[in-house]
Structure 1
Amino acid sequence: MTSQEEIIVGRWDRGSVAQSRALSVLLGDYHRQTEAEKGAAVDVIGALPARYRLEVVDPGTAFADDVVLVAQQGDQPAGCVVITDAGDRQLEIKRLWTAPEFRGRRVASRLLAAVEAHAEVVGADSIRLSVWEWRVDAIGLYRKLGFIEASSWETRDGLICMTRAV
């Protein structure tokens, strides 16, 4: 890998063992970080709550009805995003993660641009997401990209709901 290689965003190849492993690593890092931020740090994937553990060990099942995009630089996974159909011509971002070593290199912005392109292809009118209130950098990025706070559809405390038109 060289620093000059472009970061490419593409649809997760569910048949690729290498891409599936890379996605599992990204999701595992995302969930371990999130649990630590919630004050419930876990060292191993097996200690994650069952629904999160399934995403890591079997993303094909966990995201069977979703679109998963992966950002890569060469053969190095840089980030991922999971998009689900929320109904009423809305897409919802369920997971968005940039590997720490790729932060500051516009990976999240590229992933979000790919979500918008997908939304246009499928005829969605808007994109929504929820973000933990302590993730101020992410909230700042979402605002910069046109997301605004919306009435909450979440039942969990500490989540901010945001939306933007396509």
Structure 2
Amino acid sequence: MQPNAVVVRAVDRLDADWAAVSGLLRDYHLQTEREKARHGVAEPGGSGAGLPARYQAEVDGPASVFEEADVVVAEKDGRAVGMMVLQRSGRDIEVKRLWVAPAGRRQGVAAALLAYAREHAERAGADGLRLSVWDWRADALGLYRSQGFAIEPSWEARERLVCLRRPLP
């Protein structure tokens, strides 16, 4: 393995890395809640004094909450710097909770996670990848478009979420 290489792998149900996943999820949700407050997006169950219960449950017990999904971490120099959750959604695989810690950004971590997602979806016989992202996350939208995702009619009930899909060969 090359120095500074990004390693992407699924987290095993018995893996000790669940603590790292929990920390990445906490950071993801806290950042998202701060952004939603700035953009005037109210979520049911949000109190302003922490995470809504459904997100706190992910932080507290990701292995059980995502029991039916594949949880993936990206590591750089032996540290978990990114993650995502891959879940079957009809004929597609949905990418959820894609997050790269600030220290891992602009180093190919998100692209490596998306490459893993494509390979996973192909192995699973899926027709495509799909995801949703808040409309104010311009960098993420640019990344997804550069990776072959295109905007689709929304399957989300929440306003300001942009739905994207990438067909697979």
Same fold, judged at TM 0.5 (above): yes
> 2:5, 2:76 within 8 Å by CA — same for their partners in 1?
yes
1:54 aligns with 2:57: yes
SS of corresponding position for 2:37: coil
1:72 aligns with 2:71: no
1:82 aligns with 2:85: yes
Match of 2:110 in 1: 108
Shift of 1:150: 0.2
Match of 1:155 in 2: 157
- C-alpha change, 1:13 and 1:110, in structure 2 (3 Å) is same
TM-score, structure 1 as length reference: 0.91
Match of 1:145 in 2: 147
SS of corresponding position for 2:163: strand
Partners of 2:12 and 2:18 in 1: how far apart? 8
Shift of 1:4: 3.0
1:36 aligns with 2:34: yes
Match of 1:131 in 2: 133
Match of 1:10 in 2: 9
Partners of 1:62 and 1:75 in 2: how far apart? 25
1:118 aligns with 2:117: no
TM-score, structure 2 as length reference: 0.89
2:61 counterpart letter in structure 1: D
2:20 alignment partner, one of 15, 22, 32: 22
2:147 counterpart letter in structure 1: L
SS of corresponding position for 2:71: strand
1:106 counterpart letter in structure 2: G
Shift of 1:98: 0.3
Partners of 1:113 and 1:57 in 2: how far apart? 28
Aligned residues, how many? 157
Over residues 139-166 of structure 1, what are the superposed CA-to-partner deviations in whole Å (9 max), with x where a residue is unaligned?
0000001100000000001100000111
> 2:3, 2:77 within 8 Å by CA — same for their partners in 1?
no
1:102 counterpart letter in structure 2: G
CA RMSD, Structure 1 to Structure 2 (Å):
1.4
SS of corresponding position for 1:151: coil
1:14 counterpart letter in structure 2: R
- Unpaired runs of 5+ residues, structure 2, are 39-48
Partners of 1:53 and 1:7 in 2: how far apart? 28
SS of corresponding position for 1:38: helix
2:154 counterpart letter in structure 1: S
